[in-house]
Amino acid sequence: MNLMVKRVDVWAAGIKDEPGGLAKILAGLREAGADLDFVVARRAPEKPGMGVVFVTPLRGDAEVAAAATLGFNVTSSLQSLRVEGENKPGVAAELAKKLAAAGINLHGLSAAVIGSKFILYIGLDTAEDAAKAANLLKQA
């Protein structure tokens, strides 16, 4: 299996859980020129009235400065990999099984298929797990 595996920084910010909360923060990134590959937003049940948005990548000083103004920080508690390859039935299950067999516990996984390709974002708890997972997936 020919995979492209890349370590990525994921940025997170709190958002108000109200209409327009996400739109406002994404507009701020757009105005700074950000061309995001990945966005995940969800409510934060532990903080009523709030949500969280995760984005990647941020490129260049202007985007990073805008992100900081909007309340974004690099997620230090989450190490992330972007994995891309040719889609086939069961590919996510196959990759998850390989990682599990190597003793790697996932913090999270998000995936999508676009045309004939899949893209996975894998969250891991430590830099060591991320390096181990990247090496394993590059050999897949």
Q: What is the predicted pLDDT for the residue at 111?
A: 95
Name which of 22, 102, 43 is nearest 122 in CA terms: 102
Q: Where are the domains of the chain?
A: 11-74, 77-139
Please tell me which residue, 139 or 82, carries the higher pLDDT value. 82
Residues 6+ apart with CB under 8 A from 80: 7, 8, 9, 10, 56, 121, 122, 123, 124, 130
Q: What is the pTM of this model?
A: 0.88
Q: What is the predicted pLDDT for the residue at 1?
A: 80
Pairing of strands 50-56, 106-114: unpaired
Class of domain 77-139: alpha beta
Report percent pLDDT > 70 for the chain. Answer: 100
Q: Tell me: the pLDDT tens digits for 12-40?
A: 999 999 999 999 999 999 999 999 999 99
pLDDT at 77 over 90: no
Class of domain 11-74: alpha beta
Q: Do domains 11-74 and 77-139 have the same CATH topology?
A: yes
